[in-house]
Amino acid sequence: MEQQRILVLLPLEERHKAVLETAAPGIQLTYAAADTVTREQVQQAQVIIGNPPVEYVAGSSNLRWFQSNTAGPDPYLKEGVISPQAVITNATGAYGLAISEYMLGTLLSLYKKLNLYRDSQILREWVKLGSVKSVWGSTVLVVGMGDIGGSFARLVKGMGAYVIGVRRTDTVKPEYADEVHLIEELDSLLPRADVVALSLPGGSGTAGILNRQRMERMKDGAVVLNVGRGTAIESMALYDALKSGKLSGAAVDVTDPEPLPPEHPLWELPNLIITPHVSGGWSLAETFERIVRISAENLGRYLRGEPLKNVIDRGTGYRTLEK
């Protein structure tokens, strides 16, 4: 086997390096930090594990496989960044735990008005804010049933929700869903949902998928959660729906634009929870552990000439279906 030039850009402890090196016996791995790696190192690499500066990888003629440490490697999917000869894989399977718990946490906060009680606490006001809602008995529409959406569906299903999943191509119903439909049926599903949860990749196919017209179709008092890409929701339409009371609440970990400018009107809404794209990342230590395991498994597969997991379709931003 020819010498492989493998560049690893994850902030690894020695025990993590051992996991990767076990998957690549006899292979020399080069470790570097993503913020200090040189363009020359990136351009020379045949394999990159971890996300280098996009401008460093553009134009590389050596790269054969790029393992992103994110679930949505959008900047690397743009034309002209990574050569068509290279395979791109993502870290699907690493983020479902952390992000689904964030989604459940924000949903419960909105349902129990904890965000409003926090506002009252800051003002030192002892005031009761009336009735609350329960996940039990609610209808939850999960748009995007991958690792993240599927993990969230499991959580709310376990709490007694009726779960409707929405996918692009597959209507096979997992045990944690009551129904599964194709994305073309979204308009007919929205009026049924108490909660609409979006966990979609970026791209033209998902941009503005929850627009003003679709928000008008939603059930009065429904809640929106968005953890995929901010471009999936029309920001001012969301503002108007929350301001008018059409929607009772929303939680967004992603916005359009991002970061959200201080003067943006979304900041003023008491029934909106905004977080700065932190539901994923490595805020939860277990997420990073899973990224290492996914990378190691794919590294072993690559060196053995086996099909890689989590291969990305550059046109859609989604994973290709694995056989």
Known catalytic residues are: 229, 258, 277
For residue 168, give both structure tokens: 């692009």
Q: What DSSP assignment string belongs to 189-241? A: HGGG-SEEEE----STTTTTSB-HHHHHHSPTTEEEEE-S-GGGB-HHHHHHH
Q: Report d(CA 104, CA 135) in Å as an integer.
A: 9
Distance of alpha carbon 222 from alpha carbon 244, whole angstroms? 12
User: Six-digit token pair at 214?
Assistant: 């679709």
**DSSP H or E run through 187:** helix 186-189
R_g over Cα of the chain: 21
Here the tokens at position 119 are 């506002």
